Chain A
Amino acid sequence: EVQLLESGGGLVQPGGSLRLSCAASGFTFSSYAMSWVRQAPGKGLEWVTSISGNAGSTYYADFVKGRFTISRDNSKNTLYLQMNSLRAEDTAVFYCAKDRYRTVSPGGWFDPWGQGTLVTVSS
């Protein structure tokens, strides 16, 4: 069974940093691109970033460029999201999700998703 388990969320002050992790199991991790999607309180789903299976390509939403970094350790079957210069508007549940393809390609989809980890940015 494919499983994704996020961790690392918590309370952080504005301007602070946090690193999220997503432990994957049940599939050949390096064969699939992975993504982070977030949901702010009372809001909808919002794509944040994606990374190819070999970590050779990364893609970011404009609102996180230069602040967030996606990475992966295929030897540990783990996806990461390093978040710096956090803002109050980054407060959200962050989900990791498995992509359909090895590369970040048109025509794909997110399946499955993890349960999410809550990030709260507040002083």
Chain B
Amino acid sequence: DIQMTQSPSSLSASVGDRVTITCRASQSISSSLNWYQHKPGKAPKLLIYAASTLQGGVPSRFSGSESGTDFSLTISSLQPEDFATYYCQQSYSTPWTFGQGTKVEIK
């Protein structure tokens, strides 16, 4: 199985901060990496697919990048509605696997 190691597990940031979350795959997964936002009691929401393509309707302050087996999600200017937990997920091979999640909290 492909292991996805996500870091940090949590972070505290202020509105307007630039935030970066990273995800490392245990093997090459090409660009088969997706990012989701999850708020308590809500359905998870797709933010970015194929490592760097922004899902329709997602604000442009979100971006994704990749370098080998390392992937990053960046929020350029954190907004109040961005406080949530973020997950990466590989779709290279089954079983599909998620990172452990990064909880973004208000400082």
Additional pairs, 19, CB under 8 Å, beyond known A44-B85, A104-B94, A109-B34: A37-B44, A45-B36, A45-B44, A45-B98, A45-B101, A47-B96, A59-B94, A62-B95, A95-B43, A97-B44, A107-B31, A107-B50, A107-B92, A108-B91, A109-B50, A112-B43, A113-B43, A114-B43, A116-B43
A111 to B100, CA, bound (A): 19
Cβ of A61 to closest chain B Cβ, rounded Å: 5
A12 to B38, CA, bound (A): 27
Which of A47, A97, A108, A112 meets B98, CB within 8 Å? A47
Contact B34 A110 (CB under 8 A): yes
Contact A110 B95 (CB under 8 A): no
Number of residues of chain B lying within 8 A (CB) of chain A: 28
Say whether, besides A44-B100, A113-B43, A116-B43, A107 and B94 are in contact (CB < 8 Å).
no
**CB nearest neighbor in B for A62:** B95
- Chain A residues with CB under 8 Å of B96's CB are 35, 47, 50
Q: Does B64 contact A (CB under 8 A)?
A: no
Cβ of B43 to closest chain A Cβ, rounded Å: 4
**CB nearest neighbor in A for B1:** A62
- Chain B residues with CB under 8 Å of A73's CB are none
Cβ of A46 to closest chain B Cβ, rounded Å: 7
Say whether, besides A107-B32, A109-B34, A95 and B44 are in contact (CB < 8 Å).
yes
A59 to B30, CA, bound (A): 21
Number of residues of chain A lying within 8 A (CB) of chain B: 26
Contact B46 A111 (CB under 8 A): yes
Contact A44 B43 (CB under 8 A): no
Q: Does A106 contact B (CB under 8 A)?
A: yes
Cβ of A27 to closest chain B Cβ, rounded Å: 15
Which of A45, A46, A108 meets B38, CB within 8 Å? A45
**CB nearest neighbor in B for A45:** B98
Say whether, besides A106-B93, A113-B45, A44 and B98 are in contact (CB < 8 Å).
yes
